[in-house]
Amino acid sequence: MRKLIRWIIALLIVAIIAFFIWHQTRPEPLEAYLKPVILSTVEKTVANTRAGTVNACRRAKLSPSIGGQIARLPIEEGDQVKRGDLLLEIWNNDLVAQLELAQQQLEVARAESMAACVSAIDAQRQSERARTLYQSSSTSEEVFDRAVTQAESSQAQCDATRAVIKTSSVRIDIARANLSRTRLLAPFAGVIAKINGERGEFVTPSPVGVQIPPTVDLIENNCYYVNAPIDEMDAAGVRVGMEARITLDAFKERTFAAKVRRISPYVLDLEKQARTVGIEASFAKADDIDDLLAGYSADVEIILATSANTLTIPTEALIEGDSVYVFFEEEKKVRRVPVTTGLANWAFTEILTGLEAGQSVVTNIDHPRLKNGAAAVPAEDGK
């Protein structure tokens, strides 16, 4: 009996020691960062590979078509101008005089034409009177012929003076055209960005092959769009009219609604850079452009497709695109569960099968002790 008691005591001591060793050496439950499976909206999107740029819808770098000395420069940098406003005028007193001379010549031609045509009318009446007298044998044939000839001659002079009027009108058009070449007018409303020149300086148009800075740089400041490069692999799914979002470094807290307005018809191949396709996105709301400036850096996110009211998980929880670790509260363990995914972006992924709303998935999937069936506890401060 004593021997049996000794064996029982020895076994209890061994069991206690084994339990102590197991308790001291067992792995601690891993801390799992958990996120719930929720019903939400998922968008499949693509974004530009490099920073885009805010551009004005119209920007004109203007110079006069002829050279000369700047006589008038009624604008300054930063001025707001309307379409048709005078931006610059080259000295043109000689052309103004030529226009005035052409206008005077037109007035003279009109007066001479009036006199010649009145004479033609009178000569025609005299011719008709001579015809009547000749038919009644009251005058000679010679008198009648002279009256007819005089009427025809007067009419020819009338027609000639009318042709002179047309010629004078053309001269006026030419003089006005020459004068207009000395005046630089705003082709659209905008803001003056840059002026290269001062009153009294000489300007010359750019000859072929020689780049000369424009005299006036005019930017339309009530219409902007973003030009951004999209990777050639992503660009295949982009279509004109798709909704997009624009973010600007200058307005970090704002997102601007936009739409794709143009897709470049060719792929841009730059050395040491990925091949890209340029896209243009216009701002959807007119009020959004009030604070914009041409040249701001911008990013464009284009929405290719949308799934609303669907099961979603953080994309960072997805393992190899087809499974996730799910935390089971009753067991205090995580298990790897296969899933079928739908639309996805960098933040969220749509789950078609495999999960239910309310379940919790592990997001710190790079944990070295994370495996199927591992003991886990929720992290106090998850991501």
Is residue 210 scored above 70 in pLDDT? no
Give residues with Cβ within 8 angstroms of 47, minimum separation 6.
230, 299, 300, 301, 302
DSSP state, residue 205: P
- Nearest alpha carbon to residue 110 among 171, 162, 172: 162
pLDDT given at position 179: 92
pLDDT given at position 7: 64
Is residue 22 scored above 50 in pLDDT? no
DSSP state, residue 131: H
Report the alpha-carbon distance of residue 196 to residue 216 in Å, rounded. Answer: 6
Q: Alpha carbon 21 to chain centroid distance?
A: 71
pLDDT given at position 3: 64
Give residues with Cβ within 8 angstroms of 317, minimum separation 6.
35, 324, 325, 361, 362, 363, 365
Cα three-residue angle 296-302-304, rounded to 5 degrees: 175
Neighbours of 126 (CB within 10 A): 16
Q: In what order do the strands lie in the sheet with 323-328?
A: 34-36, 360-362, 323-328, 333-338
The mean pLDDT value for 295-307 works out to 91
Higher pLDDT, 274 or 185: 185
Q: How confident is the model at residue 103 (pLDDT cuts 50, 70, 90)?
A: very high
**Contact between 342 and 351 (Cβ < 8 Å):** yes
DSSP state, residue 319: B
Is residue 260 scored above 90 in pLDDT? yes
Residue 358's region, left for phi above 0, alpha for psi from -120 to 50, else beta, is: left
Residue-wise pLDDT for 129-142, tens only, equals 877 877 777 777 77
Is residue 6 scored above 70 in pLDDT? no
Is residue 382 scored above 50 in pLDDT? no
The mean pLDDT value for 93-122 works out to 90
Residue-wise pLDDT for 152-208, tens only, equals 888 888 888 899 999 999 999 999 999 999 999 999 999 999 999 899 888 887 666
Is pTM beyond 0.75? Reply is no
Is residue 249 scored above 50 in pLDDT? yes
Is residue 239 scored above 90 in pLDDT? yes
What does the chain come to in residues?
Answer: 383
Is residue 94 scored above 80 in pLDDT? yes
Residue-wise pLDDT for 320-370, tens only, equals 889 999 999 888 899 999 999 999 888 899 999 999 999 999 998 888 888
Mean pLDDT of the residues in the chain? 86
Report the alpha-carbon distance of residue 89 to residue 190 in Å, rounded. Answer: 19
Q: How confident is the model at residue 213 (pLDDT cuts 50, 70, 90)?
A: confident
3-class secondary structure, 283 = strand
